[in-house]
Amino acid sequence: MGKRVGVLMGGWGEEREISLKTGEAVVAALEEQGHTVTRVFAGPGLDRVLRSAELDVAFLALHGRMGEDGKVQGLLELLELPYTGSGVMASALAMNKPFAKKLFRLHNLPTPQGYRIGREELATLQERHGDLGFPCVVKPACGGSSVGLALVNEPEALASAVAEACRYGGEVLVERFARGREVTVGILGGEVLGSCEISYPREGFDYEAKYKGGARYFLPPRLSPTRLANVEHLALAAWQALGCRGYGRVDLICSDEDNDVVLEVNTLPGLTPMSLLPKIAAQRGITFPQLCERILTLATRDEAGVTEAPERATVQPAPRRAVGG
């Protein structure tokens, strides 16, 4: 039987446009699968909208801050509404790239050397950069869709690139540039779905290349079977290190020196016609509606691990205090 599905789209952040495209594509796919679908445009008052929508499950078509970072996931937990994608903690960790890198290193997973710097620390930028060298990659610490990303080739351009990236959340990650093939690995249901290599006319898979054309895709990547198996194993290990679930993508660089490094984990990757996960699924013979259906079947909530409360939440007025003596 079809479910009453709320597709959450839009949101507060700079990735709203991409979220709306993802949302509309998902709506069409789920309706084709026989579900009753409601568009839920996320914004202030989202809790009230969700309480009145009478949904069975939430399909998250949100991207970036206030959608992919654990905040909406926490709201859905409180509303006891199953949702697609990773849980609260994994979403927050994956979205915060500096914290994710710490966990990668804790699990002995290679990742480019780098440092975090906040807007209030810009005066110490040159000291913090030290001998990291150039070229380097500058990106918002919490963001996606390559918004605010810059490849910096000389010291004179570093400060302006960091200041620009600070516009998206106030914290920035600066990483040593890893030269090589960019490969993304799709994961569905805790297993590797497949991989795609992205090639583009200029260095840096930025917003323009990602959504306005110019990129080329190779499915499978132009790697030997043995090396590709190692890359996919590395991607799955990164996914597991953050405690992710449901579906997602892991971005890596397969360098010219045969050193493969993890860049980041995307817990709510795009599902637009230009998006990478649908391309990977199609390579496996999975249509877009079938992919959305499989993602929907994986929707769940975090296990609270505590005894159920004996009663629902209520409001009780405070007793009046006597006035005077």
The residues carrying an active-site annotation are 15, 145, 211, 249, 251, 264, 266, 270
CA distance 115 to 175: 7
With CA atoms as reference, report the closest residue to 232 among 218, 209, 249, 215. 249
Q: Which of 156, 205, 215, 207 is nearest to 177 (CA)?
A: 205
Q: How many Cβ atoms from other residues are within 10 Å of residue 124's Cβ?
A: 11
Q: What does the alpha-carbon distance between residue 292 and residue 52 come to, in Å, rounded to a whole number? A: 24
Burial 209-233, CB ≥16 within 10 A → b, else e: bbbeeebebeeebebeeeebeebbe
Query: What residue type is assigned to position 210 of the chain?
Result: K
Q: What are phi and psi of 41, to 5 degrees?
A: -90, 110
Let me know: does 184 contact 252? Beta carbons within 8 Å. Answer: yes
Amino acid symbol at 212: K
The sign one gets for the Cα dihedral 252, 254, 255, 261 is: positive
E strand or H helix at 254: strand 247-255
Cβ neighbour number for residue 152 with a 10 Å cutoff = 20
DSSP symbols for 239-253:
HHHTT--SEEEEEEE
**Cβ atoms of 266 and 127 closer than 8 Å:** no
